[in-house]
Structure 1
Amino acid sequence: MLKENFLLNLREIAAIPGAPGQEMEVVDKFVQWFTPYVDNIEVDHMGNLYVYKHGISPGPTLMVSAHSDEIACVVRDIDNRGFLKIERTGGMIESLLVGRKVNVHGHFGVIGIKAGHLQTPEERKRLPSIYELYVDVGANNKQDVLDMGIQIGDPITYISDIDTFTNQDLICGKAIDNRSCCVLLLELFKSLQSKDVSGTIVGVITVQEEVGLRGAKVATYRVNPDYAIVLDTIPCADTPDSLQSGYPVGIGNGPVIPALAGGSVRGNIMAPQKKELLIKYANESNVPYQLAVMSGASTDVSAVHLEREGVLAGAITIARRYSHSPVEVANLNDFVHAYKLLEKLVLDNGKWGNLSFLK
């Protein structure tokens, strides 16, 4: 996988707004990108995108997925002066919203903030609630907003292009969670076009992960895979404010294999045989990896493994700094290593595709 091509595609796709339930433009772009490289392609009523690679010999059905939506807000109300009240969809953090540039259903806007000169000493110390925040789209009144085509329920997403640091391997911007892994999936199917596989490989770009892993549930039921691999980014703890967290995961140290993710109700404990398989292939491929236990975050695997009679599923994740912010930071080398591991797993689908709970 060429880092340059990966970054080029990520810049384009991350710039497209794709709030939960509003991923249409993102999905449309991926339909265009995947079509030349797959045997067939489908989009369901929910917006999940399915791409297929049929093998030359019988074997299991392996589903590999990544989610397309990003954290966002929606318009909750429009006041008579043309300012928009907002509600979150996904893990939007109030402290990161204030003073940001945003896209409101295709229109430029800013999240306003009371001038420091007018704030009381108490206000300067207090973090405003999301219900106190508002978006300014440059309108004079409510009718101006309606004439722009903005309505209650319309999506609001960050404006934040993907940039690189002086160290060109470090990238920063919005929607790295999880457009980056969608591009990784695209690169996989480009490679598979000229390779032979066993069974059926189904790539899925899921929707509405940020609001409860909803698309993954529908997609897994539809595909009914024998096995599944979920691709996602995951928070790390290599910055000064988190080094003592007891969560030893950082960017640049290879993909993360989450042995446990999510809380006691919604989460996933990766099956030992799946974890051992990922470690085995990482070692054989000379891919550095990190094992993680994190109860405070989850991925689509939490929904995938519970569908139908249960699916033996695992996750390959990429560490990111400043999660759910417009300045998420990741290391391109981690994606290269994740791709190497993923491709090896998929090409050997017929060899390892006989796992069971008792093995």
Structure 2
Amino acid sequence: MFKDHFYNSLKELAEIPGSPGREQTIVKRIVELIKPYADHVEIDHMGNIYAVLEGQKSGPTIMVSAHSDEIGCMVSAIDEKGFLRMERTGGMLESLLVARKVNVNGHFGVVGVKAGHLQTAEEKTRIPKMENLYVDVGAKSREEVLAMGIDIGDSITYISDLERFSNQDLICGKAIDNRSCCVLLIELFKKLQDKEFSGTLVGLIAVQEEVGLRGATIASYKINPKYAIVLDTIACTDTPDGNHYPIGIGKGPVMPLLSGGGARGNIMAQQMKELIISFANQLNIPYQLSVMPNGTSDISAIHLVKEGILAGALTFPRRYSHSPVEVADLSDFENGFLLLEEMIRNIDRWGSLSFLK
């Protein structure tokens, strides 16, 4: 039942457009879904959602976070014939944009492509640069585009409905990164309605993760929790073009022990790693360990806020990252949810989590 319910919930949220800085529609829907299960819900000026649930006993404040935005583009210009130019907001790749269906501020569009019959031999092997790509929304003039309600600064996102493979555990579509974890957070609040946990749970749905972890930075400063658990997805390498990182779908949630590189990355605290593994072993839940300098999550910002927030991450492997055909395994989300719930319900067993034992 969890997998079917999760898939249907994700299908709804993944279809809603919400690129960085333009998350209004998805934020509104998430608020509607989580508000009945929270003691209090607040939205700040950036669009971060704070949902609060008080446990039956006193205890620490723990923040569990996901991000609402998906990779996208923004309209940068409109020419006299009604074609749009764009700039990326997040990890959009030119190679994955050509000839795609897109949503432009609620309107259907396509990323134009020069007909194969007209391409030179060189053009057939070359990926167009972003400045040469354009979007066709079916308009004949700039004035017609403006009359449609499309203007410079509007959001452009993929159109790609979530679907299931013949293997019903595998799903495919856009925005699995990170609407999947928004669903997990909503389900956590539903599950904890009995309030059988200690302390204060703050569910954060952060904005603008894809353009520099921006929402989580200010939200963590506002909440200042004792602990944080970040939920996100992570690239995997179980395809023919993969590399030596041993991460694959269907093998359980992933703990990113090293994510990102240099000053913008995170090295997960050893005590948090050991804590998560201990709960996973108690529940006999499979897990994976990742050391990957490319790619990161909101944990990289959260653990540096104020005096430092002790943070861990549970991430979920998906193939074809930052594409309209991301692929994931429902069993990974089910196992991750069981692990997350058990950790929150038993925060009294976490111990001091001091740096030195």
TM range (shorter): over 0.9
Contact (CA 8 Å) 1:90, 1:211: kept in 2 or not? yes
Contact (CA 8 Å) 1:235, 1:322: kept in 2 or not? yes
Aligned to 1:12: 12
CA distance in 2, matches of 1:43, 1:100: 33
Q: Could you list the per-position Cα deviations for residues 88-137 of structure 1 after superposition, in whole angstroms to 9, with x for gaps in the alignment? A: 00000100000000000000000000001111111111110011000000
Aligned to 1:197: 197
Contact (CA 8 Å) 1:62, 1:349: kept in 2 or not? no
Matched, 1:262 2:256: no
Aligned to 1:307: 305
Match of 1:33, SS? helix
Q: Could you list the per-position Cα deviations for residues 117-176 of structure 1 after superposition, in whole angstroms to 9, with x for gaps in the alignment? A: 111111111110011000000000110101111110100000000000000100000000
CA distance in 2, matches of 1:55, 1:270: 27
Match of 1:167, SS? coil
CA distance in 1, matches of 2:354, 2:66: 24
CA distance in 2, matches of 1:90, 1:353: 38
CA distance in 1, matches of 2:225, 2:195: 21
Aligned to 1:106: 106
What's the CA shift for 1:351? Answer: 2.4
What's the CA shift for 1:350? Answer: 2.5
Amino acid corresponding to residue 339 of structure 2 in structure 1: L
CA distance in 2, matches of 1:287, 1:85: 47
What's the CA shift for 1:322? Answer: 0.1
Aligned to 1:253: 251
Match of 2:317, SS? strand
Match of 1:333, SS? helix
Name which of 329, 340, 343 aligns with 1:342. Answer: 340
Contact (CA 8 Å) 1:318, 1:335: kept in 2 or not? yes
What's the CA shift for 1:358? Answer: 2.0
CA distance in 1, matches of 2:158, 2:79: 22
- TM-score of the two chains, using structure 1 as the length reference: 0.98
Contact (CA 8 Å) 2:65, 2:230: kept in 1 or not? yes
CA distance in 2, matches of 1:223, 1:356: 21
What's the CA shift for 1:195? Answer: 3.6
Match of 1:228, SS? strand
Aligned to 1:165: 165
What's the CA shift for 1:354? Answer: 2.5
Aligned to 2:119: 119
Contact (CA 8 Å) 2:171, 2:327: kept in 1 or not? yes
Match of 2:46, SS? coil
Match of 2:250, SS? coil
What's the CA shift for 1:58? Answer: 1.5
CA distance in 2, matches of 1:194, 1:111: 49
CA distance in 2, matches of 1:265, 1:78: 38
Q: Identify which range, 31-40 or 319-328, moves more after superposition.
A: 31-40
CA distance in 1, matches of 2:50, 2:274: 28
Amino acid corresponding to residue 232 of structure 2 in structure 1: D
Count of aligned pairs between the two proteins: 357
- TM-score of the two chains, using structure 2 as the length reference: 0.99
Q: Could you list the per-position Cα deviations for residues 36-93 of structure 1 after superposition, in whole angstroms to 9, with x for gaps in the alignment? A: 1111111111100011111121211000000010000000100111000010000001
Match of 2:132, SS? coil
Amino acid corresponding to residue 101 of structure 1 in structure 2: K
Structure 1 unaligned segments of length 5 or more: list them.
none
Aligned to 1:148: 148
Match of 2:315, SS? strand
What's the CA shift for 1:353? Answer: 5.2
Contact (CA 8 Å) 2:56, 2:195: kept in 1 or not? no
CA distance in 1, matches of 2:164, 2:195: 33
Aligned to 2:78: 78
Q: Could you list the per-position Cα deviations for residues 18-53 of structure 1 after superposition, in whole angstroms to 9, with x for gaps in the alignment? A: 000111111111111111111111111110001111
Matched, 1:323 2:321: yes
Q: Could you list the per-position Cα deviations for residues 297-322 of structure 1 after superposition, in whole angstroms to 9, with x for gaps in the alignment? A: 10000000000000000100000000
Contact (CA 8 Å) 1:59, 1:353: kept in 2 or not? no
Name which of 245, 269, 272 aligns with 2:270. Answer: 272
CA distance in 2, matches of 1:115, 1:235: 33
Contact (CA 8 Å) 2:216, 2:301: kept in 1 or not? yes
Matched, 1:332 2:330: yes
Over the matched positions of the two proteins, sequence identity in percent amounts to 63
User: What is the CA RMSD across the aligned residues, in angstroms?
Assistant: 0.8
CA distance in 1, matches of 2:351, 2:126: 54
CA distance in 2, matches of 1:155, 1:179: 17
Amino acid corresponding to residue 225 of structure 2 in structure 1: P
CA distance in 2, matches of 1:6, 1:219: 26
Aligned to 2:175: 175
Structure 2 unaligned segments of length 5 or more: list them.
none
